[in-house]
Chain A
């Protein structure tokens, strides 16, 4: 059996490892932009091959897959989905685990995802507005800045998936700090407009969403166009640094297990989250007329106003969330892939181990905002000591070049620990991080607090608060209800305003 994977990072390393451990002993082939040492090793060990090529070049990827006569392909990251790699492979009759371009749009365009959600009236929505220019966005924010409407407290985002970059949350609730925060908002919408210039594939540039709070989690699912099978809930940590401080990253580490839902979540919340993701899949299949085959995930939050709520959708496994679920997965991943390809997920059993898993990423200083600083530093890792501590290493943004390992600017590698106790896993990983160094003395950083007892307690407290409030809303029959007030105009229902706007836009 020959399997071809696509993508460069630690998530792909974890997928490749899971695939190569299959009872079918497949040969693993992988197309990457840079030579990832982990993927390189797995390809070699299974007598497959690592091929360097542009992973966004559908034609090229299609040619390689055809030439190698692979049995199926597995697309790791989101961008190849947006560039139609799964479509091209399908055209060449090569089965593919990967969302086709038309359904992957729910990740590619955050604006489109929200519109779809409102048009199909799915649960777990947020108020939003989209803009084509910073000027337009700034004017609207300015008009509402002194009024009691949701537009005072917002998340400012690029309207397109942009590698987890550019999201800023501005809670503008202290009138005495308003000037500072307002200045920052205006600066950031400008920044977003500039940033979005590098993407020409969607019209919307800036997305403004209502600001919400609550515990975040990712719900990843296998989907075959008919059936959706959820994987254990994972919590990723997006802030770059300890104490939840700092820039948004692709994710600095994640926790999951031992159950299907996180310790601070309830089983019903897991179930209703699954229903929400199912609803999104149905809606996009209906809208596009295409089957959704591969992976779908909701990056979600349990909010006071809506209960389980979608923040963003993924058309692939999360990174680092993939590492948690794949390590917990008991069933053979190749069997699952075939069930997806042959649309018989409903007929198979997918099982997960009941165990706690913690993953942490380590990145060179400079990630995520100043990546040039984070590039081309020689890496030295004592992998043996990591294994001795019963942890697993997955290579991320690292390039094997002329026998030397070099940082490539993003999260260098991720370390996974399994165990009974999350805090112990976290500490074990922290210890292993000391075995990772850059030979030129450039700094690395990771989050020591992910999985710690202290952070878990904080998440639990936040979850309890959000839960009490949304459950009260359910009791009162006001889940999802928002009311604003504008002087001289009076009470307004922002939900109705939004619905009218969406109708107006056709």
Chain B
């Protein structure tokens, strides 16, 4: 998982802008998409500067920030996953989310994509970029900047990974994985780049072209888990989807309970709409210690467990002596859930019924989302009853892929649900 961001000023005075602070806040808004590496690239008078660092945006980048009026940034969930810098035959820097089907490794795959671009776009950059998008299978979004001061970006034919474009005032064009990054820097509007669309900003114009071979298969995991709730992806507000999910969960298994608890933050919209639908109060169940880290994407088991321990402290009075419905956003190995249920009971919950706001993950993601090996996936290995038993819950239910497609409001054929079904577009 990666968050990518581009800053591009137009018109007279364009070189007076400083891109870095915009990149900084744009990436901060998308920190949830990756917390391992953070990279900035800027252009000043045709000269490209690239800085790759590890850690969170605000840890890795302190003043003074790199100078330049065109900027590119990336936060990534993978160690050593930095911006790709190709020097010949055309110097360009590329940020990518997802994975082009060019290599097993995400970084290597985007490196090959960047090299293809650098070789192809000497003349007719728009047509050549579109050709590459048509040729290179996989699910990916990318933004590249070139020594010619272009910004080239696009999405694969299926549009698996999101990419948004918007404007600020009469000067700035902004590109980002999620619309929340555009909001944070004050953009007036945001539109989705189309699946199979290539767009080029150059100092004098914008050109765009869509492939006639495009057939969408948007990542459904974005809607339940990856994207921020204030983002709008492919024209669909994330928050609406999550509310729909809570409603569907409440309708499918009517159970009695005293309180609804959503965990983590991603699951709060689920719990609020579940509460409204089932007429059971929702309460805040946990307070986090330390900063928000996403446990499912932490690279090592140890760090993951530290994350879990640190971030979840139950609010005893919310659950003490109560029948609890606990709603989580996803289940991968079951570790987090087992700890959470144990914690709730220790703080006095009488009974805990667990609901998952997404279908069970049973298969890998070929488009770069890090999912453990098949034999590590609890949803694949065990039945619902067995899972309930293992995590210590009274009952365990999850969304079905059909229900998720209904909540998103798109036909299953227009979504990639591979990690939930094992069937890939």
A residues lining the B interface (CB < 8 Å): 167-171, 173-174, 176-177, 179-180, 183-184, 187-188, 191, 213, 238-248, 365-366, 368-370, 373, 443, 445, 448, 454, 458
Q: A176-B25, A247-B12 are in contact. Are A239 and B17 (CB under 8 A)?
A: no
Q: How far is the CA of A244 from the CA of B187 in the complex (A)?
A: 11
Indicate if the CB atoms of B189 and A167 lie closer than 8 Å. Answer: no
Indicate if the CB atoms of A246 and B167 lie closer than 8 Å. Answer: yes
How many residues belonging to B are interface residues under a CB distance threshold of 8 Å?
31
List the A side residues contacting B167 at CB < 8 Å. 239, 243-246
Q: How far is the CA of A332 from the CA of B172 in the complex (A)?
A: 44
Indicate if the CB atoms of B17 and A184 lie closer than 8 Å. Answer: yes
Tell me, yes or no, whether B11 is within 8 Å of chain A by CB: yes
List the A side residues contacting B186 at CB < 8 Å. 171, 173-174, 177
Which among B168, B172, B205 is the interface contact of A445 at CB below 8 angstroms?
Answer: B205
List the A side residues contacting B166 at CB < 8 Å. 243, 245
Q: A170-B169, A245-B172 are in contact. Are A187 and B13 (CB under 8 A)?
A: yes
Indicate if the CB atoms of B208 and A448 lie closer than 8 Å. Answer: yes
Q: How far is the CA of A239 from the CA of B206 in the complex (A)?
A: 11
- Which residue on chain A has the smallest CB distance to residue B10? A246
> Distance in Å from the Cβ of B31 to the closest Cβ of chain A?
15
List the B side residues contacting A213 at CB < 8 Å. 188
Indicate if the CB atoms of A168 and B189 lie closer than 8 Å. Answer: no
> Distance in Å from the Cβ of A134 to the closest Cβ of chain B?
13
Tell me, yes or no, whether B207 is within 8 Å of chain A by CB: yes
> Distance in Å from the Cβ of A289 to the closest Cβ of chain B?
38
Q: How far is the CA of A184 from the CA of B19 in the complex (A)?
A: 12
Indicate if the CB atoms of A241 and B184 lie closer than 8 Å. Answer: no
Q: A176-B21, A245-B10 are in contact. Are A168 and B170 (CB under 8 A)?
A: yes
Q: How far is the CA of A171 from the CA of B188 in the complex (A)?
A: 10
B residues lining the A interface (CB < 8 Å): 10-13, 16-18, 21-22, 25, 165-173, 184-186, 188-189, 191, 202, 204-208
Q: How far is the CA of A247 from the CA of B21 in the complex (A)?
A: 22
Indicate if the CB atoms of B205 and A443 lie closer than 8 Å. Answer: yes
Indicate if the CB atoms of A180 and B13 lie closer than 8 Å. Answer: no
> Distance in Å from the Cβ of A136 to the closest Cβ of chain B?
20
> Distance in Å from the Cβ of A245 to the closest Cβ of chain B?
4
Indicate if the CB atoms of A370 and B189 lie closer than 8 Å. Answer: no
Indicate if the CB atoms of B185 and A247 lie closer than 8 Å. Answer: no
- Which residue on chain B has the smallest CB distance to residue A169? B169
Q: How far is the CA of A242 from the CA of B166 in the complex (A)?
A: 9
Given contact pairs A177-B21, A369-B11, enumerate 8 new A-B contacts (beta carbons under 8 Å).
Answer: A171-B186, A243-B167, A243-B189, A244-B189, A246-B10, A246-B170, A443-B205, A445-B206
- Which residue on chain A has the smallest CB distance to residue B193? A243
Q: How far is the CA of A335 from the CA of B170 in the complex (A)?
A: 41
- Which residue on chain A has the smallest CB distance to residue B192? A454
Q: How far is the CA of A447 from the CA of B315 in the complex (A)?
A: 55
> Distance in Å from the Cβ of B24 to the closest Cβ of chain A?
8
Task: Name which of B10, B165, B169, B206 has the most chain A CB atoms within 10 A of its CB.
Answer: B169
Which among A171, A183, A240 is the interface contact of B10 at CB below 8 angstroms?
Answer: A240
Q: How far is the CA of A391 from the CA of B206 in the complex (A)?
A: 24
Q: A168-B171, A171-B186, A243-B189 are in contact. Are A188 and B206 (CB under 8 A)?
A: no
Indicate if the CB atoms of B25 and A174 lie closer than 8 Å. Answer: yes
Q: How far is the CA of A329 from the CA of B340 in the complex (A)?
A: 70
Q: A184-B16, A240-B10, A369-B12 are in contact. Are A245 and B173 (CB under 8 A)?
A: yes
- Which residue on chain A has the smallest CB distance to residue B199? A242
Q: How far is the CA of A180 from the CA of B7 in the complex (A)?
A: 13
List the A side residues contacting B206 at CB < 8 Å. 240-243, 245-246, 445
Q: How far is the CA of A191 from the CA of B11 in the complex (A)?
A: 13
Indicate if the CB atoms of B21 and A244 lie closer than 8 Å. Answer: no
30 A-B pairs (CB sep. < 8 Å): A167-B170, A168-B170, A168-B171, A169-B170, A171-B186, A171-B188, A174-B184, A177-B186, A179-B21, A180-B21, A183-B16, A184-B16, A184-B171, A187-B16, A240-B205, A241-B206, A243-B165, A243-B173, A245-B10, A245-B165, A245-B167, A247-B12, A365-B202, A365-B204, A365-B205, A366-B204, A443-B204, A443-B205, A445-B206, A458-B191
Indicate if the CB atoms of A248 and B170 lie closer than 8 Å. Answer: yes
Q: How far is the CA of A47 from the CA of B83 in the complex (A)?
A: 66
Indicate if the CB atoms of B184 and A247 lie closer than 8 Å. Answer: no
- Which residue on chain B has the smallest CB distance to residue A444? B205
Q: A184-B17, A191-B12, A443-B204 are in contact. Are A244 and B25 (CB under 8 A)?
A: no
> Distance in Å from the Cβ of A255 to the closest Cβ of chain B?
17
Indicate if the CB atoms of B17 and A180 lie closer than 8 Å. Answer: yes
Indicate if the CB atoms of B170 and A174 lie closer than 8 Å. Answer: no
> Distance in Å from the Cβ of A198 to the closest Cβ of chain B?
15
List the A side residues contacting B12 at CB < 8 Å. 191, 247, 369-370
